[in-house]
A and B are shown apart, each in its own frame.
Chain A
Amino acid sequence: MSTAEASPSRFEPPVGVEGKAFWEATREGRLLVQWCTSCDRGVFYPRVFCPHCAAGAGALEWRDASGRATVYAAVVEHRPEAAGAKFSGGQPYCVALVDLEEGVRMLTNVVGCPPDDVHCGMAVGVTWEPLSDGRRLPLFEPVGGSDGRGDGGAAS
């Protein structure tokens, strides 16, 4: 788990009604995924009903995710100033879509290796960056070495 200080330059996400449990759990370093008990599928981003089977809120619960994921697509921002992003200190950074083991896809940054080394199919695990209000932002990093060809174990 990252011990970095909260970065004032990071855009801090608002908390929607549906996302409240997700963000509260990040305070304890827990990555939750909304799960539909009716169709047995993960739901992301969080919703008040299941977009796969239309089950109501009563069918949705929160489950702890393993934190393991696979990179679906990754790019490198070479002009952080043009993106309005200050969190990388002006250095190129990787933005990726990652597929969690639970079957949901989320946008994130892959850190802990040179951004150009991140590639489709790479195994990554969750790591956390503190936000100013005690929440933490889920980022991902290669597991089992910087090439991501590790044992698939969680990173943190």
Chain B
Amino acid sequence: MSRVDRSLRGAAAIVGVADDVSPTGELDRFGRDLEVAMVLDALEDAGLTLADVDGVCHPESAVGFAEYLGVHPTFVESTMTGGSSYEVHVEHAAAAIAAGVCDVVVSVYAATPRSDRTQGRRREWRRPSGPNPMAEWDLPYGLRTPMGPYALAAARHMYEFGTTSEQLAQIAVSTRQWAALNPRARYRDPITIEDVLASPLQVSPLHLLDCCLVTDGAGAFVMTSAERARSLPKPPVFVLGAATCTDHMVIGQMPDLPTTPGAVSGPRAFEMAGLEPSDVDVLMGYDSFTITALLHLEDLGFCKKGEGGPFVADGHLGPGGSLAMNTNGGGLSFTHPGMYGMFLITEATRQLRGEGGDRQVAGAEVAVAHGSGMFLSVMSTAVLGTEATL
């Protein structure tokens, strides 16, 4: 059987979502309290209960979290790829459900970096075990992470293709226009290209407003089989295609800085879905930095490699434009607790259910959640669709 014959297309669906963010950037819950609340909210949204859960995803320890929940899952998924972890969880959960490993999967995220700081809470930070090439070969040179590697990619993209700071800034401007429509977004006031360029340089060529926020945030999603999904109260959001690729971990090992492994995961996910970028109604493309979103547009095939700058410059990514990108306001203006990929899933699901409120993209049938993890290291693409797309 060929790879395409073993496709996951339509085998599983997202049936429940929840998230918690605040315009203040801070939440009053944290840790397990927040994680459990998200799981219970997402299950309620799905019309299911903890007793239905037989699959648990958590990027730190699915086993420990399952124990805390008091469930005994037959599928545990602790894949941690940074910000793309939750797109990977969608892919792996769909595969597990399709293979009969489990039936109802929950994935959860909660991080409160902002209130941890203001409340003086100590943050757990796990040192990587084993040899660490980053410490030996990178850390002496003071490349700030995560920003520095993205700045290097931006610098190289500018050199090869003539991309400008103004073009990158337009992404922040268009994304802020979406945030203005989202009452839960951290920042909603309009900004201009000039505002972005006047904000302090961090690691050149990136300015402060080219960079994502640091906020508290949490979320969860629930997935089950397509068959069971149709018996639940909310319209199912089907996984039409899913794929992941990594081609490096530390930035010096990235084969080609202007080309991310999304150039592999994107086409594979579209192939599985039987769709093209032109079929996409909502693109949720992880915007850790403006350059990240620009690279996604090229690597996913919304424009050719190198043409991302002119593609974004006319502002057609904003409300009313030809490509609705990051309709929640993105990591740039909505929320970014660290591993933002969860919010790509929750927003894509809401758009496909028609729950987008003022920012709803009319008639949205196909959404893409494209996660970026670590240092442009791990890209994971989930093509999602309504019943009509099956």
Contacts and interface: CB of A to CB of B under 8 A. Distances in A.
B142 interface: yes
Output the residue of A77, A78, A88 with the most chain B CB within 10 A.
A77
A119 to B, nearest CB: 8
B203 A78 contact: yes
B203 A11 contact: no
A107 B251 contact: yes
B70 interface: no
B143 interface: yes
A120 B131 contact: no
Interface string A84-122: 110110000101010000000111110000001001110
Given A78-B201, A83-B144, A105-B252, A13 B159 contact: no
A85 B252 CA distance: 19
A86 to B, nearest CB: 9
A75 B203 contact: yes
A16 B133 contact: yes
Given A16-B131, A73-B155, A106-B137, A79 B202 contact: yes
Contact of A73 (B131, B142, B156, B202): B156
A12 B144 CA distance: 16
B148 A75 contact: yes
Given A11-B140, A95-B142, A121-B159, A73 B132 contact: no
A49 interface: no
Given A16-B136, A45-B137, A75-B148, A120 B156 contact: yes
Output the residue of A12, A97, A107, A109 with the most chain B CB within 10 A.
A107
Contacts of B201: 76, 78
A27 interface: no
A137 B144 CA distance: 18
A82 interface: yes
- Dominant secondary structure of chain B at its interface with chain A: helix
B60 interface: no
A95 B148 contact: yes
B144 A97 contact: no
A106 B139 contact: no
Nearest to A17: B131
Nearest to A23: B136
Interface string B216-258: 0000000000000000000000000000000000111100010
Interface residues of A, number: 40
A83 B144 CA distance: 5
A75 B131 contact: no
B156 A10 contact: no
A97 B135 contact: no
B141 to A, nearest CB: 5
Nearest to B158: A120
A72 interface: yes
A43 B133 CA distance: 13
Contact of B133 (A45, A75, A77, A120): A45
A12 B131 contact: no
B251 A97 contact: yes
Nearest to A109: B141
A109 B251 CA distance: 15
A75 B142 contact: no
Contact of A75 (B136, B155, B252): B155
B144 A77 contact: yes
A75 B151 contact: yes
B143 A83 contact: yes
Contacts of A87: 142
12 contacts: A12-B140, A14-B132, A14-B135, A15-B136, A19-B136, A19-B137, A73-B155, A73-B156, A77-B143, A78-B203, A85-B142, A85-B144
Interface of B: 131-133, 135-144, 148, 151-153, 155-156, 159, 200-205, 250-253, 257
Interface of A: 10-19, 44-45, 72-80, 82-85, 87-88, 93, 95, 97, 105-109, 116, 119-121, 137
The 5 closest A-B CB pairs, nearest first, are: A85-B142, A83-B144, A120-B159, A73-B156, A75-B151
